[in-house]
Amino acid sequence: MRILVIGSGGREHALLKGLKADPLTTELHVAPGSPNFADLATVHPAYSKVDDPAQMLQLAQKIDAELVVVGPEVPLVAGVADELRANGIAVFGPNKSAAQIEGSKAFAKDIMNAAGVKTARAEQLVPGTSDAEIEAALDRFGPPFVVKDDGLAGGKGVVVTDDRAAAKEHVNEVHAAGNPVLLESFLDGPEVSLFCLVDGETVVPLLPAQDHKRAYDNDEGPNTGGMGAYTPLPWLPADGVQRIVDEVCKPVAAEMVKRGNPYSGLLYAGLAWGKEGIAVVEFNCRFGDPETQAVLSMLESPLAEALNATATGTLAELDELKWKDGYAVTVVLAAEGYPASPRKGDVITGPGLDDPNKVLHAGTSQAEGSPGVEEEVDVISNGGRVLNVLGQGATLAEARAAAYEVLEGLKLEGSFYRRDIGKRAEDGEISI
Ligand code: GLY
């Protein structure tokens, strides 16, 4: 099967690795990708407008793709899947109208209310809301204040803070950018990311994971797209995944079908499991990043087959997914200045850079080799989250140790990483 993956980050590198390992895959392409994906797929840097349905269709037709796997949310919300499907190409990823589950937080709330799914209380503040109304709304919600950009922010548009001035500043920033703000009540309890393959009302969960969104150790510093993740969750009750599927994912999938807007692709449920049970923090319409990098490293079943079954409406017939025993951890190596203003263009060195079982490339590129250096090309940083380092082990402690051993050998000036990914779970400090 000829498969095209759209995207260029660590999540897409993980998808390419998984798809390449499936004998069903005969040809693998990626747009725009990274030159560091070239061992796995044909890279198409000229096709960089991933939110341009016509350009993505042109490439899919040129390479005669039989399946297109869309990584990021932006092309999905822009209608890339609609355009491909309208031209007879199977797509892993929801249509534009169903991608609103991530594209509009107000839409997601409406679906959850109709489906009886528990979530945070929320109010939308549109640009132009008066200062007095913003102050009154802040009074109704915090502290702590949860202020979300009600547009696409790739997981980065959320500020959670006890500091009223910082909360208000974020409201004003989002309004200045022309987007509405969603104020939400704070949801207590440990967070779970559960990814489900969804084809209409059929829901197949992957392993549960936990992301670490703050930039620095001990959950300090600004919110980021995610600094690391581990899977599975040793503290989750034995029936935890099934409960999330039954209480959250299936009712939402059924509600979408009922509205004539069926979901097809990956439904990412971001949850908080507090004293009063499971509540949804957010939905995303695509694989989470960086959780996917850890989750897919544990998958034993063929990935292309699973994504193709979802894309072609035959998910109900897919064999049960099989997973490795043990744990996986991914830790993000971030560039100096991330998330505010990441420094780019620095050379990265160290063992494992060309081994996707150890290192996935999230924000890298290549440059001609430095004078006097043996390599013909240098791997250089080209984004905020630069590398996703992987570790696996029979225990969470072993998986963490494996990831940190690789990280210690990597060199990128000014870079940093969290040293406590999965640590609280390893120490038995998480309970629900
Ligand atoms: N890991 C957070 C996200 O993918 O949005």
Q: pLDDT for 135-167, tens place per residue?
A: 999 999 989 999 988 876 655 678 889 999 999
Give the pair of three-digit tokens for residue 431. 């309970």
Q: CA 171, CA 126: separation in Å to the nearest integer?
A: 10
Q: pLDDT for 93-117, tens place per residue?
A: 999 999 999 988 789 999 999 999 9
Give me the long-range contacts of 311-315 (CB less than 8 A, separation at least 24). 311/67, 311/90, 311/91, 311/92, 311/264, 311/265, 312/90, 313/199, 313/200, 313/264, 314/199, 315/197, 315/198, 315/199, 315/202, 315/204
* pLDDT of amino acid 146: 93
Q: At residue 251, does pLDDT exceed 80?
A: yes
Mean pLDDT of 41-64: 98
Q: Give the model's confidence band at 134: pLDDT under 50 very low, under 70 low, under 90 confident, else very high.
A: very high
Among 211, 266, 281, say which to mutate for ligand 1: greatest number of ligand atoms within 8 Å of CB. 211
Distance 368 CA to ligand 1 centre (A): 32
Residue 288 alpha carbon, nearest atom of ligand 1: 4
Q: CA 38, CA 40: separation in Å to the nearest integer?
A: 5
Give the pair of three-digit tokens for residue 243. 């409960």
Q: pLDDT for 378-387, tens place per residue?
A: 999 999 999 9
Burial of 158 (0-12, 13-18, 19+ CB in 10 A): middle
Q: CA 82, CA 344: separation in Å to the nearest integer?
A: 34
Q: pLDDT for 170-227, tens place per residue?
A: 999 999 999 899 899 999 899 999 999 999 999 999 999 999 999 999 999 998 999 9
**Residue 264 near residue 95 (C-beta atoms within 8 A):** yes
Indicate the angle between helix axes 105-115 and 96-103, nearest 10 degrees.
100
Residue 225 alpha carbon, nearest atom of ligand 1: 2
Of 46-50, 151-155, 158-162, 389-393, where does mean pLDDT reach its minimum?
Answer: 151-155
Q: pLDDT for 370-379, tens place per residue?
A: 666 666 789 9
* pLDDT of amino acid 276: 84
Residues 6 or more apart whose Cβ sits within 8 Å of residue 55: 47, 49
* pLDDT of amino acid 370: 65
Question: CB atoms < 10 A from the CB of 431, how many?
Answer: 8
Among 102, 289, 295, say which to mutate for ligand 1: greatest number of ligand atoms within 8 Å of CB. 289
Residue 291 alpha carbon, nearest atom of ligand 1: 1
Among 12, 73, 193, 295, say which to mutate for ligand 1: greatest number of ligand atoms within 8 Å of CB. 193
Which residue minimizes the CA distance to atom 4 of ligand 1?
A: 288
**Residue 233 near residue 289 (C-beta atoms within 8 A):** no
Instruction: Ligand 1: list residues with CB < 6 Å.
Output: 155, 211, 225-226, 284, 288-289, 291
Burial of 149 (0-12, 13-18, 19+ CB in 10 A): buried
Distance 73 CA to ligand 1 centre (A): 11
Q: pLDDT for 68-77, tens place per residue?
A: 999 999 999 9
Secondary structure (DSSP) of 154-198: TT-SEEEES-HHHHHHHHHHHHHTT--EEEEPPPPS-EEEEEEEE
Write down the pTM of the prediction.
0.93
* pLDDT of amino acid 90: 98
Distance 227 CA to ligand 1 centre (A): 10
Look over the chain and give the mean of its residue pLDDT values, rounded to a whole number.
95
Q: CA 205, CA 174: separation in Å to the nearest integer?
A: 34
Mean pLDDT of 17-46: 98
Among 268, 283, 286, 330, say which to mutate for ligand 1: greatest number of ligand atoms within 8 Å of CB. 268
